[in-house]
Amino acid sequence: MSLFEFGPYRLEVEERRFSRNGENIRLRGKVFDALTVLVKNSGKLIRKDELLQLVWPGTIVEENNLDSSISQLRKVFGPDHPYIETIPRQGYRFLPEVREVRSGELVAVEASPWKTPSIPKQEISFFTSSDGVRIAYSKAGSGPPLVKAANWLNHLDFEWHSPIWAHWVAELTKHHTLIRYDERGNGLSDWNITDFSFEAWVRDFETLMDTVGIERFPLLGISQGGAVAVKYAALNPERVSHLVLYGSFARGWMLRQSPEEIERRNALMTLVRLGWGKDNPAFRQLWSTLFIPDATPEQLDWFNELQRVTTSPENAVRLMSEASKINVVDYLPRVNCPTIVMHSREDAAVPISEGRMLAARIAGAKFVELPSRNHLVIPPEPAWDVFVKHLSEFLGWDKASSVQEPVLRKSSLR
C-alpha cells in the first residue's frame, strides 16, 4: 500500500483518501492523481508534459486542465503554505519533505471510500414508435413515477450497475418508480433506422408516455434530454407536474458556439466516425475526458466502453449532428410547471451559460450552480450531495405524499 505523510497531511493512494490531522479532504479524481504524482516526486522538477502524461495517460488534453488541478490543490493547502512551486515555462516542484510510510508502520484506520450501491432490479420492455422503430424502456423502484428523458448515449442494461450511473439509479429508485428508455439508434433500441431527427425523439417520448399510461408525473431531462423534456412539458402542461433540468441546453452547439468551437466539434465528429468502434479507446477517451474530466480511472474506462457498446460510429455521428441543431428556445416561456435547473460550474461539454438561459426564460425556475467540472456529477465529489439536497427539496422526498402510488390512466405500467 502506498501511503505518504507530509506536515499534517496523509495521502493513501490505493484508498484514494487524503486527510489533514485525521479529517478527510475530498479531492476530484484528476486533482487527486496530480497530487499523487507530485508527492511521489517530492523535491524534483516535474515538467508539465510529463505531468500531463502521468495524470491523463493515453489522452490528449489541454494544459489548462493541469493548471486548474494545481490551482485547486493550492486552495486546499492555503496561501500560508506554498507547497507547490511553479517553475516558469517548465513545470512544478513539490516542496515539503515527504515520508513514505512502510506497510509495517501502517496504523489501522476505518476506510470509507464510495462503493457502488445496491440497486433494484429493472423490468425492460419494448414499444413501437409511430414510424416502426422498436424502443426499449424500463421501470424500477417503487412509489410515485419519475420519468427520465433519454440523454446522448443510453444503454438500459449496460449502465445499470455502472460506476457512473449506479448512484443516480440508487437515489432515484429509493423515492420513485423510475422510468427510462434507450433513444432510437442506441442501446437496446433499434439501431438500423433512418430518422434521427429531434422531432422523432419527441414523438418517441410521447409514445412512451402513452404506452406506460401515467396521467401526471415529474420529468427529468439530462443534457440533450433536457430539450426533449422542455418541448414535451410546453406542449403537455397537464401531464408534467415538475420539471428537472440538469446539464441541459435549449440550443445545440451549432447555434451557440464560436466558429473556432464549431470547427473543433466537427473535428471531434470526424474522429468519432473513424475511430469509435476500434479496440483502441483513445478516440473515445477524448469524449470521456470532456464529459467527466475528474473521473477515476475506473469511471473513465467504463465510459469509454459505454460509448463502444451503445451505438455504431455512424449512429454516434448522426446523433451528435442532430443534437447540434436543437433549438427549443421558443418553448421555454411556455413551460408553466415548477422547474429547477442544475448545472456544473465548469462543465466543458455544455457551458453553464446555457443552464442560466434555461432558468431565465422559464417563469419561476430555480437555478442551482454545482461546484463541479463534470458534465455528470459523480460521488464522492461534493457536487453530488448538493444535487441530491436540492432535488430532494424540489420533489418533496421528505413529505408523506412522496410515497403515494403513481396515478395511472391505465391499469398498470406495462
Domain assignment present for 114: no
What local confidence, expressed as pLDDT, does residue 403 receive? 41
216 DSSP 8-state letter: S
Closest CA to 304 of 324, 319, 290, 322: 290
Q: How confident is the model at residue 188 (pLDDT cuts 50, 70, 90)?
A: very high
Among 49, 77, 105, residue at a domain's last position: 105
Residue 22 has a pLDDT of 78
pLDDT tens profile 3-29: 898 888 889 888 888 988 778 898 888
- What's the whole-number mean pLDDT along residues 40-49? 88
Please give the full DSSP string across 273-304, using - where no structure is assigned.
HHHTTSS-THHHHHHHHHH-TT--HHHHHHHH
The answer to whether residue 401 scores a pLDDT higher than 50 is: no
187 and 269 in one domain?
yes
Q: What is the spatial distance between Cα 177 and Cα 108, in angstroms, rounded to a whole number? A: 41
The confidence score (pLDDT) of residue 406 equals 43
β-bridge partners, 47: 91
Q: Which of 52, 70, 105 is the last residue of a domain?
A: 105
Any domain includes 190: yes
Q: How many residues does the chain have?
A: 414
In a domain, 62, yes or no: yes
pLDDT tens digits, residue range 85-131? Answer: 888 878 899 998 888 876 444 333 333 344 567 788 899 999 999 99
Query: What is the number of domains present in the chain?
Result: 2
- CATH number (domain holding residue 198): 3.40.50.1820
Taking only the tens place, the pLDDT of each residue in 310-323 is 888 888 888 888 98
Dihedral of CA atoms 202, 203, 204, 208 in degrees, nearest 10, equals: 100
Q: Which residue's C-alpha cell is 423490468?
A: 123
User: Does some domain include residue 34?
Assistant: yes
Cα angle vertex 407, ends 359, 118, to 5°? 75
Q: Based on the domain organization, do 184 and 275 belong to the same domain?
A: yes
Domain that holds residue 330: 122-403
Most confident residue range from 176-180, 300-304, 306-310:
176-180
- Per the CB < 8 A criterion, the answer to whether 205 and 149 are in contact is yes
Note whether 243 and 361 are same-domain residues: yes
280-302 pLDDT, tens digit per residue, is: 555 556 667 778 888 887 787 78
SS3 65: helix
Does residue 408 lie within any of the structural domains?
A: no
Q: Do both 164 and 89 map to the same domain?
A: no
Cell representation of residue 314: 455512424
| 188 plus 292 within the same structural domain | yes
Q: Which residues contact 193 (CB under 8 A, 6 or more apart)?
A: 133, 184, 185
Kindly report whether the peptide bond that precedes residue 145 is cis, defined as omega within 30 degrees of 0: no
Q: Flag whether 241 is in a domain.
A: yes
What's the one-letter identity of residue 37? V
Most confident of 253-267, 301-315, 354-368, 391-405: 354-368
Answer yes or no: do 378 and 238 share one domain.
Answer: yes
User: Per-residue pLDDT for 413 more than 50?
Assistant: no
Q: Which of 55-59, 181-185, 371-375 has the highest mean pLDDT?
A: 181-185
Q: What's the CA gap between 304 and 282, in Å, rounded?
A: 9
Shared domain for 91 and 142, answered yes or no, is: no
Average pLDDT over residues 195-221: 96
Give the pLDDT confidence score for residue 393 in this predicted structure: 95
Tens digit of each residue's pLDDT (9 = 90 or more) over 336-352: 999 999 999 999 889 99
Please check whether residue 410 lies inside any domain of the structure.
Answer: no
Cell digits for 319? Answer: 446523433
Residues 152 and 66 in one domain: no
d(CA 388, CA 397): 10
CA atoms within 13 A on the CB side of 352: 14
Q: Is 295 exposed, middle or buried (0-12, 13-18, 19+ CB in 10 A)?
A: buried
| 285 and 213 within one domain | yes
353 and 264, same domain (yes or no):
yes
pLDDT tens column, 31-40: 999 999 999 9
Task: Decide if 116 is inside a domain.
Answer: no
| 26 and 164 housed in the same domain | no
> Domain ends where: 71, 105, 139?
105
- Domain match, 85 and 133 both: no
Portion of the chain with pLDDT greater than 90, in percent: 46
Q: What is the CATH number of the domain that holds 48?
A: 1.10.10.10
How many CB atoms within 10 Å of residue 174? 15
